[in-house]
Structure 1
Amino acid sequence: MQNINREQFPRLKNDLILRAARGEIVERPPCWIMRQAGRYLPEYHDAKGGRDFFEVCRDPEVASEITIQPVRRYADLLDAAIIFSDILVIPQAMGMTVEMMEGKGPHFPKPLRTKEDVQKVLDYEVDVLKELDWAFRAITTTRNKLEGQVPLFGFCGGPWTLFVYMTEGGGSKIFRFAKEWINTYPDICHQLLQKTTDVAIEFLSQQVVAGAQILQVFESWGGELSSADFDEFSLPYLKQIASKVPQRLKELGVTEHVPMIVFAKGSWYALNKLCDSGYNAVSLDWLWDPAEACNINQGRVTLQGNLDPGVIYGSDEVITKKVQKMISGFGGGKRHYIVNLGHGTHPYMNPEKIKHFLQECHRFGSQ
């Protein structure tokens, strides 16, 4: 167990996103952005220097600095920070090698292609506290440095999404190997998904012990599954995470309620089920019409999203217009709503456009 006294963390001054995630009526919808810390900010490149991506993640001081950069740049416009890390640290903790190729993304030199490959991972004893110690130290460092300005997100990848990377060896357009696995060896797939889920539950729980105050699960490749396959290979494991993290937190001595958000990109057919999956909030990609999503949700959970990130390339006038339409579509945002993009920022975005987006979200959200 981590030896951390959570009562000694700085007092939280802005709990807007926590209240909104719990479904409370708020004075305005809280705002944050997926990938708000990263390559579109010039200060990120200064902090990263010439170091490898994962080397930066594993340096608690540098990861903390990068996490706080957007909070500092967009003072009083962001209502949360999200720890600078990556969803693929779980496969790393499970004994797999992951490299981040500049300009290409993640690469697994030895992806899972045979039953023997999978068995090696299943047999690997995962010590989450040891393997991901740097992640927990980064969270604790950041929580203290934030001085209570905003809550800090912890996160992990969804089990199906991690399975895709572990079998494909990186990103994919046709998902040949992942689909081959689930349609040829479904029992083995479930064993691997279960082990990944177990690691994710412990990882998320220990992030909270380290200082995280809200959690998000990124099922980024959810939309590559059919509705039936999503019900078999994704949803049960997402539901396990939602139910077992609170149980594990009680075992670890954490008594406060920690909101949890699920983001299953492209899984339009699953919204109704996700609203009943045990999470406090469901994040939407930009393919959703807000009013239609609200109609399906019927106030069961908080919805998050969902501006198309590409709008940020538009003029200030276009951004203003689409922000207003989005917030209106979510009923004005005073309850059951968190402002976000429908996915993460791009490396080529203008930071000033992001600022305009955030300012307009505040303006319309406060009306």
Structure 2
Amino acid sequence: MQKHQQLQFAPLKNDLILRTARGEAVERPPCWIMRQAGRYLPEYHEVKGDKDFFEICRDAEVASEITIQPVRRYAGLLDAAIIFSDILVIPQAMGMRVEMLEGKGPHFPKPLRTIEDVQKVLDHKVDVLKELDWAFRAITLTRKKLDGQVPLFGFCGGPWTLLVYMTEGGGSKLFKFAKEWINQHPDICHQLLQRITNVAIEFLSQQVIAGAQILQVFESWGGELSSADFEEFSLPYLKQISSKVPQRLQELGHKEHVPMVVFAKGSWYALDKLCGTGYNAVSLDWLWDPAEACKINQGRVTLQGNFDPGTIYGSDEVITKKVETMIRKFGGGKSHYIINFGHGTHPFMNPEKIRHFLRECHRIGSQK
């Protein structure tokens, strides 16, 4: 545990996103994109080759290269890097096998379908430093390679979202098994959610010790819960993460404040509550009207988002117009606002269209 604490890194040259997340007034809104490193970039495919997805995640050299690719391609236009990894590394650390099938996405050969299945996971002893050592090595190497250019995001999946994958066995449209679990066996669901949360807290904390400077929690399937179920099966665990990560960092000897962002996709009914969960920023999907979100937030936290990723398929003129509208509706972007997509990039996007988006974000966001 001590091996990460003495690491020395280059001074940060661009702390815009950290200042914004802390609620400070800034010269322009910072900008980064969910899934900014990945399949839409030709250089990603060159590095990946025919390697398995999780194989490249576990290779610190390759993961760091992929993380830095968009920072290099869009030099001066991105205000953060996000480590190349996946939210499903927590189930892996908890003893479950996860595969990434080409063209299909994540697959659990043995999903949790019985109480006995869940009990095996609950009984599995998780040593986060050992099981996810490769993730920490990738973060440290990436932080060194960035040489202070921009801050580095660490991240994890939200507990409810991970429970969905662990019970469904992959992505889903019906969420049959996850809904069966919370409606037939809520007590054991809470036990599983608590165990996931405990692992997430340690994982996020150790990412910071390894070099991450800002954190995001992806509750990607939040919108599949009703308002009442979100309040029972998601919100309490998201709150635990936001409150206990800073406590754990204190125990580990990390004194600096580390901003935390939560992204609960589709959970429109929960924005008011999410703004009061202790995160520094709440990320919004593209379904939100920014002005309405700002009204609900009342300046309590920084908002992040929420450009419709599909707009990147449009003309430069349309992209520019929608960037202008978005920034204006978020109040001009000089405080409490981080520019991002409302979800991740798509594999088929034109990198030059994304360059235009980023340039326009800078130009418009810098205007008085």
TM-score (ref. length: structure 1): 0.99
What corresponds to 1:45 in structure 2?
45
Identify the residue that residue 348 of structure 1 maps to in structure 2. Answer: 348
1:99 aligned partner: 99
Show the counterpart of 1:61. Answer: 61
1:316 corresponds to: 316
Matches of 1:2 and 1:297, distance apart in 2: 39
* 1:297 alignment partner AA: N
Deviation at 1:49, TM superposition (A): 1.1
Q: Residues of 2 paired with 1:227 and 1:60: CA distance?
A: 40
Q: 1:302 and 2:295 equivalent?
A: no
Map of 2:22 onto structure 1: 22
String of CA shifts for 1:272-305, please: whole Å, max 9, x gaps: 0000000000000000000000000000000000
Distance 2:11 2:262 in 1: 27
Aligned-pair CA distance for 1:351: 0.1
**RMSD of equivalent CA atoms:** 0.6
1:265 is aligned to: 265
- Please list, as runs of the form range in 1=range in 2, the aligned pairs for 1:188-203 lying within 5 A after superposition: 188-203=188-203
Structure 2 equivalent of residue 217 of structure 1: 217
> Contact 1:6/1:211 (CA < 8 Å) preserved in 2?
no
Does 2:109 match 1:113?
Answer: no
Partner of 1:329: 329
Secondary structure of the equivalent of 1:17?
helix
Q: Which amino acid aligns with 1:121?
A: V
Aligned to 1:252: 252
User: Which residue of 1 is the match for residue 161 of structure 2?
Assistant: 161
1:131 is aligned to 131
**Counterpart residue number, 1:228:** 228
Q: Does 1:185 align with 2:185?
A: yes
Show the 5 A alignment for 1:269-288. Answer: 269-288=269-288
Q: Deviations over 1:45-79 (max 9, x none)?
A: 01111100000000000000000000000000000
Moved over 6 A (4+): none
Contact 1:80-1:153 within 8 A present in 2 as well: yes
What letter is aligned with 1:12?
Answer: L
Q: Counterpart of 1:43 in structure 2: which amino acid?
A: E
Per-residue CA deviations over 1:26-62 (Å, capped at 9, x if unaligned) read: 0000000000000000000011111000000000000
Unaligned runs of 5+ in 2: none
Unpaired segments ≥5 residues, structure 1 = none
Aligned residue number for residue 292 of structure 2: 292
Counterpart Cα distance in 2 of 1:8 and 1:202: 21
CA drift of 1:4 comes to 2.5
CA distance in 1, matches of 2:101, 2:189: 27
Tell me how far apart the structure 1 counterparts of residues 247 and 325 of structure 2 sit (CA, whole Å).
39
Check the 8 A contact 1:2/1:210 in 2, yes or no.
Answer: no
Kept after mapping to 1: 8 A contact 2:152/2:213: yes
CA–CA distance in structure 2, aligned partners of residues 327 and 55 of structure 1: 39
The one-letter amino acid paired with 1:153 is: F
Query: Identity percentage over the alignment?
Result: 85
Distance 1:290 1:5 in 2: 40
* Equivalent-residue separation in structure 2 for 1:6 and 1:79 (angstroms): 26
Q: Is the 8 A contact 2:35 2:344 kept in 1?
A: yes
CA distance in 1, matches of 2:216, 2:88: 14
Contact 1:20 1:29 (C-alpha < 8 Å) held by counterparts: yes
Residues of 2 paired with 1:32 and 1:165: CA distance? 26
Q: What is the CA-CA distance between 1:8 and the residue it aligns to?
A: 1.4
CA distance in 2, matches of 1:171, 1:193: 18
| Cα pair 2:5 2:253 within 8 Å, conserved | no
Mapping 1:138-149, distance limit 5 Å:
138-149=138-149
Partner SS state of residue 3, structure 2? coil
